[in-house]
């Protein structure tokens, strides 16, 4: 497992430099000098994404508990955190984090000691763990997507409002400068009238297609019952996939899956546990679009895709979100995902991008284009980190406009760019709302999951936001809510 080393002094100076670059006071460091507040935090889902989420916060706050259902990966996560502190010359707390396999037991034992919880588990456990945390009135930072069923997104949003805690989704692009710049440029007419938005990704990078379950013996280091979380119990399984099918998922430097096990890496393609390519990347790549369009929810989504099944998502999908007029005229947002060797995941390059080199275009495995009447904003990155205006002569004008104050920076900036976990902790200590608080990220997650609703319906769906239903395809409504919860897991 890779350890993302960073000297403590360099970590603080980089954060301070990021704040200064946005023209904001150094609230993070100043506030901590005054308050000296270190939060006590628990990490649920300690390995995988939980490693980087822990490293984002552990130098500035106290990690008092690590939770993971895989005993080997839990021990590994604890060792990586300890090594990370050593490499950063940062002292560890006198007592190491307590280790748990069951987050419910962790809350029973440590609720009085914990200020907040970071949740980095597979998608199907997000809702369960977050609701448990809210029941204990804990601040929560949940990885994207917040939930893999729309009704859970709505219930989580309501519960968080009632709990009155600080919330955050872990989509780091939302904390960055690039997304704010793109919105400011469009709002101030840099590319004229916004006409169309095109989004794409090279996901899925894991086996995803209709697959057959094969019952196997569960590894002794994995608590499968806890891994299932609130899902009704079923025996441990792996999936059936031929060597040829597995090799078809090679893309550039990404290798095929090493095994046919769902845990720890290959759960995203299963509807019960994940949300496919959209769940993995939609809350990143659709984030800037959702913000720019004024957080409007689509009323109609077209879908075509490779075959899907009741259990599994497709190898590829193409979606069209029909957006009603609001801050901008009615327009279409298109989404393409595909990781096959032949790769059909990208739209055609518009004439405005003629100046872009072919290698630069090919390098954009994921990205976005905001197409206007007078130009295009392009970013070949999932997080809208470095938007560029085409034609390049117009981009030069934008730079001059920014320098001279003709183009204004109107969006609030983050006190911790690129670090949603640290931004969340800052708001807990000093007040304010994180960039991806649930009033924003719950509707964003719904926007994303509407694409999966259309994929599973296998046809165009209309969405009645107020009634939370699909009026034109009755059979699609069964995909809005999780079919069942196991006794002892769902919290009111």
- Coil, helix or strand for 376? strand
Fold annotation for 8-174+419-437? Rossmann fold (3.40.50)
Contact 96, 456 (CB under 8 A): no
Q: What is the pLDDT of residues 77-86, one digit of tens each?
A: 999 999 999 9
How confident is the model over 412-423, as a mean pLDDT? 97
C-alpha distance across the termini of the chain, in Å? 37
**pLDDT surpasses 90 at 471:** yes
How confident is the model over 148-169, as a mean pLDDT? 98
DSSP string, 292-348: HTTSPPPSEEEEEES---SSB--SEEEEEEEEPSSSS-SEEEEEEEE-STT---SPP
- What pLDDT was estimated at residue 91? 87
How confident is the model over 8-27, as a mean pLDDT? 38
**pLDDT surpasses 90 at 383:** yes
Hunting for tokens 């600080």 — which residue is that?
166
- What pLDDT was estimated at residue 344? 72
Q: What is the pLDDT of residues 201-256, one digit of tens each?
A: 999 999 999 999 999 999 999 999 999 999 999 999 999 876 666 666 554 445 55
Strand positions, DSSP E, 105-160:
116-119, 139-142
Q: What is the pLDDT of residues 54-87, one digit of tens each?
A: 999 999 999 999 999 999 999 999 999 999 999 9
Contact 368, 388 (CB under 8 A): no
How confident is the model over 146-168, as a mean pLDDT? 98
- What pLDDT was estimated at residue 20? 37
How confident is the model over 442-453, as a mean pLDDT? 98
CA distance 142 to 208: 24
**pLDDT surpasses 80 at 257:** no
- Coil, helix or strand for 80? helix
Q: Are strands 116-119 and 237-240 parallel, antiparallel or unpaired?
A: unpaired
Q: What is the pLDDT of residues 277-311, one digit of tens each?
A: 999 999 999 999 999 999 999 999 999 999 999 99
**pLDDT surpasses 60 at 26:** no
Distances (CA, A) of 58 to 6, 52, 66, 88, 300: 12, 10, 12, 11, 43
Count the alpha carbons within 13 Å of 257 in the hemisphere toward its beta carbon: 27
Give me the percent of the chain exceeding a pLDDT of 70: 88
**pLDDT surpasses 50 at 317:** yes
- What pLDDT was estimated at residue 253? 43
pLDDT band for position 27 (cuts 50, 70, 90) = very low
Q: Domain map of the chain by residue range?
A: 8-174+419-437
State how far Cα 412 lies from the chain centre.
Answer: 21
Contact 304, 336 (CB under 8 A): no
| Burial of residue 112 (number of CB atoms within 10 Å: 0-12, 13-18, 19+) | exposed
Return mean pLDDT, the chain: 90
**pLDDT surpasses 80 at 372:** yes
Burial 428-446 (b: 16+ CB within 10 A, else e): bbbeebbbbbbebbbbbbb
Burial 160-176 (b: 16+ CB within 10 A, else e): beebebbbbbbbbbbbb
């Amino acid at each position: 497992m890779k350890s993302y080393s960073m000297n403590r002094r360099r970590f603080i100076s980089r954060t301070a430099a990021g704040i200064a670059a946005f023209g904001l006071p150094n609230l993070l460091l100043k506030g901590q000098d005054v308050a000296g507040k270190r939060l006590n935090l628990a990490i649920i889902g300690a390995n995988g994404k939980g490693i980087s989420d822990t490293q984002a916060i552990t130098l500035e706050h106290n990690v008092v508990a690590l939770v993971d259902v895989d005993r080997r990966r839990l021990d590994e996560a604890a060792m990586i955190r300890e090594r990370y502190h050593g490499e950063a010359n940062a002292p560890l707390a006198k007592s190491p984090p307590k280790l748990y396999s069951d987050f419910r037991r962790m809350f029973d034992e440590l609720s009085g000691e914990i200020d907040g919880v970071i949740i980095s588990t597979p998608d199907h456990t997000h809702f369960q763990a977050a609701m448990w945390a809210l029941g204990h009135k804990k601040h929560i930072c949940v990885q994207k997507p917040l939930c893999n069923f729309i009704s859970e997104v709505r219930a989580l949003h309501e519960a968080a409002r009632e709990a009155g805690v600080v919330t955050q989704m872990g989509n780091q692009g939302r904390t960055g400068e690039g997304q704010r710049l793109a919105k400011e440029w469009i709002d101030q007419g840099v590319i004229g009238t916004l006409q169309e938005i095109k989004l794409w990704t090279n996901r899925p990078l894991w086996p995803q297609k209709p697959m057959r379950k094969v019952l196997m013996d569960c590894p002794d280091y994995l608590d499968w019952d806890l891994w299932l979380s609130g899902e009704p119990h079923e025996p441990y399984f792996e999936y059936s996939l031929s060597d040829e099918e597995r090799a078809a998922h090679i893309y550039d430097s990404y290798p095929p899956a090493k095994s046919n096990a769902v845990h720890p890496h290959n759960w995203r393609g299963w509807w019960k546990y994940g949300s496919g390519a959209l769940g993995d990347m939609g809350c990143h790549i659709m984030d800037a679009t959702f913000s720019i369009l004024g957080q409007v929810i689509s009323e109609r989504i077209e879908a075509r895709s490779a075959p899907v099944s009741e259990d599994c998502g497709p190898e590829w999908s193409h979606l069209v979100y029909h957006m009603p007029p609001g801050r901008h005229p009615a327009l279409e947002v298109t989404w393409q995902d595909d990781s096959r060797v032949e790769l059909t995941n990208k739209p055609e390059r518009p004439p405005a991008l003629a100046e872009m080199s072919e290698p630069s275009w090919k390098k954009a495995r994921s990205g976005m284009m905001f197409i206007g009447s007078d130009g295009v904003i392009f970013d070949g990155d999932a997080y809208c980190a470095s938007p560029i205006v085409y034609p390049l002569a117009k981009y030069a004008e934008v730079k001059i406009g920014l320098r001279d104050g003709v183009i204004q920076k109107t969006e609030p900036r983050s006190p911790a760019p690129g670090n949603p976990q640290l931004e969340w902790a800052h708001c807990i200590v000093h007040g304010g709302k994180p960039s991806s608080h649930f009033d924003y990220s719950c509707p964003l997650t719904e926007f994303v999951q509407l694409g999966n609703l259309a994929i599973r319906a296998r046809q165009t769906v209309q969405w009645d936001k107020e009634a939370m239903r699909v009026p034109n395809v009755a059979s699609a409504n069964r995909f809005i809510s999780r079919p069942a919860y196991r006794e002892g897991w769902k919290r009111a």
